[in-house]
Amino acid sequence: MGPGRFGAVLTAMVTPFSGGGDLDIDGAVALARWLVEHGSDGLVVAGTTGESPVLSDEEKVALWEAVVRAVTVPVIAGSTSNDTAHSVELTKQAAYAGVAGILAVTPYYSRPPQSGLDAHFRAVAAATSLPVLIYDIPVRTGRKVAHETLVSLARQVPTIVGVKDAAGNPAESARLIAEAPPGFDLYSGDDALTLPLLAVGGAGVISVAAHWAGQEIAAMVSSFFDGDIDGARKLNARLLESWRFQSGDVTPNPIPAKAMMRALGLPAGQCRLPLGPSQAGLEDQAREVLGRLRGMASTAVGSGGHQQDQLG
């Protein structure tokens, strides 16, 4: 196995807002370029980490157009919602904007039956010739895309080319990889499970922590694909604090990622409601997480070895 069709490390990019809460297109362009310079093989724009539920259609299209012009890596559009007809229309607009692919999240809240999920994803795929990744994240959507549904879609719809897997069950992920057709890419949708999912045949990660640890994550994935399993394991251990920081009950994603971007002096702003602004002290915590990550990297570089070649 090796990296997927869109690369090994894609960042699910936050959407920068101004102090007044307006969309910051210039900030999005600057952030996108920075992410590409710091380990991202591709970008997911206006996905749920990008606060898609609180973006207007016009804002999403403006983001896709601006980021596509700004970078040379694949831009994947988060163009779907829990409304199939709306998802179809917005997917068409994303294709016109020049994106490289579609990330189609499981319709949330309404908890449709598997027949409804199947029909929804087929409708989105039929709206475009672009490759489509299904985003399976039951903890947020309230509905798991069943194994049989995923396999059926992978086998029967040529443009459904992979899944962003945030279902939290590597054993089922291994089963999906075994039964899906060749070339079907399974991307980790949970940074903490990226290494376990690589071990069962995953193609990479669509990451939140790559906002600040993209180079370390890229080194971990590269080490694994190069056969340096021990090196990958050590890099993963170094990233455990970043995995813990990026989301929690008190500070759900993308609140911590935006705090980290502000701590780095990069465009982000605060989250729009209902997520709202971050709690006091989160930026200080972000600086501490980043400082320890960089400190561990310096120690690894000083000790020599394979990690020095990757991170030095």
Question: Cβ atoms within 10 A of the Cβ of 303, count?
Answer: 9
| Annotated catalytic residue within 164, 187, 234, 258 | 164
Question: Cβ atoms within 10 A of the Cβ of 62, count?
Answer: 17
Cβ neighbours for 237, distance < 8 A, ≥ 6 positions apart: none
Instruction: Check if 60 is active-site.
Output: no
DSSP letters spanning 79-135: ---S-HHHHHHHHHHHHHTT-SEEEEEPPPSS---HHHHHHHHHHHHHT-SS-EEEE
| Annotated catalytic residue within 60, 135, 187, 234 | 135
Instruction: Check if 164 is active-site.
Output: yes
Rounded distance, CA 253 to CA 94, Å? Answer: 24
Q: In this structure, what token pair is assigned to residue 89?
A: 């229309």
Surface-to-core class of residue 176, CB atoms within 10 Å of its CB (0-12 exposed, 13-18 middle, 19+ buried): buried
Closest by Cα among 266, 136, 127 to 206: 136
* Catalytic site positions: 135, 164
